[in-house]
């Protein structure tokens, strides 16, 4: 029986709405938060492929400068500070606490696995008041590569003294699920608003609209 459920953090558990609101107020959505996050992911993918690790928070600052420059905007140091501060104050999605409670109550071990630095991840989950649900919080700093590089998921399995086949990845990003599947995990895709699973990737084991529905499906399949 699979007992370890691995959760992505940003967008999967934590709502990026405060960041979207900041972009709207600062730039009137030119650029918007989606452009920024896409650029942030692009930088993280290149970082992994080229073996040039830069912490996710630093990449976030670089991504902000890039997307602003494309719109002819010069970024001030205070802009970068504000985005970094918002990143550690994100609230959980409304369905998260109930879903995590259901899973822990059913005997599953929950862990978090994030692209953020470990210190940032702890601050995020503590601020959101959900760190208590996780046996451990893991960061890609373990291997200095970002998800979806398979070494991240393999390192997570090693940290938990298990095999990747005994773990299930839960994420609102199709690339995260695709990386997990390639490493041997099952995948649960959370259809957060605006998130669509690409048919170019192997299909996930479960697709659910939120963590609560996903928890019920996980119990039915793995308990």
pLDDT digits (tens, 9 = 90+) for 73-97: 999 999 999 999 999 999 999 999 9
Which pLDDT value is given to residue 2?
Answer: 67
The answer on 99 and 79 residing in a single domain is no
Contact between 14 and 92 (Cβ < 8 Å): yes
Domain boundary among 87, 114, 144: 87
Question: Which pTM value belongs to this model?
Answer: 0.96
- The domain that holds 162 is classified in CATH as 3.40.50.1000
The answer on 191 and 131 residing in a single domain is yes
Domain boundary among 56, 87, 118: 87
- The domain that holds 79 is classified in CATH as 1.10.150.240
The answer on 201 and 136 residing in a single domain is yes
Domain with 31, as residue range(s), is: 17-87
The answer on 172 and 70 residing in a single domain is no
**How many domains does one find in the chain?**
2
The answer on 218 and 156 residing in a single domain is yes
The answer on 114 and 99 residing in a single domain is yes
Band (pLDDT 50/70/90 cuts) for residue 11 is: very high
The answer on 211 and 140 residing in a single domain is yes
Q: Convert the pLDDT of each residue in 136-178 to its tens digit.
A: 999 999 999 999 999 999 999 999 999 999 999 999 999 999 9
Structure tokens at 93: 């999605």
Domain boundary among 72, 87, 102: 87
The answer on 217 and 168 residing in a single domain is yes
The answer on 70 and 55 residing in a single domain is yes
State residue 189 phi and psi, 5-degree precision: -95, 125
């Amino acid at each position: 029986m699979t007992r370890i459920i691995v959760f992505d953090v940003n967008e999967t558990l934590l709502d990026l709405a405060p960041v979207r609101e900041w972009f709207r107020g600062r730039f009137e959505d030119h650029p918007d938060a989606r452009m920024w996050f896409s650029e942030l992911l692009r930088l993280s993918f290149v970082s992994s492929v080229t073996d040039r690790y830069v912490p996710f928070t630093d990449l976030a600052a670089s991504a902000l400068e890039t997307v602003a420059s494309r719109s002819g905007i010069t970024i001030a140091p205070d802009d970068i500070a504000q985005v970094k501060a918002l990143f550690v104050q994100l609230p959980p999605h409304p369905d998260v606490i109930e879903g995590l409670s259901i899973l822990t109550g059913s005997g599953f071990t929950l862990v978090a696995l994030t692209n953020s630095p470990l210190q940032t991840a702890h601050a995020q989950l503590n601020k959101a008041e959900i760190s208590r649900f996780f046996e451990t919080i893991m960061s890609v700093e373990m291997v200095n590569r970002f998800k979806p590089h398979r070494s991240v998921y393999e390192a997570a399995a090693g940290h938990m003294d298990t095999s990747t086949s005994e773990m299930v990845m839960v994420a609102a990003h199709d690339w995260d699920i695709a990386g997990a599947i390639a490493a041997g995990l099952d995948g649960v895709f959370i259809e957060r608003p605006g998130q669509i699973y690409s048919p170019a990737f192997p299909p996930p084991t479960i697709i659910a609209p939120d963590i609560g529905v996903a928890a019920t499906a996980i119990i039915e399949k793995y308990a």
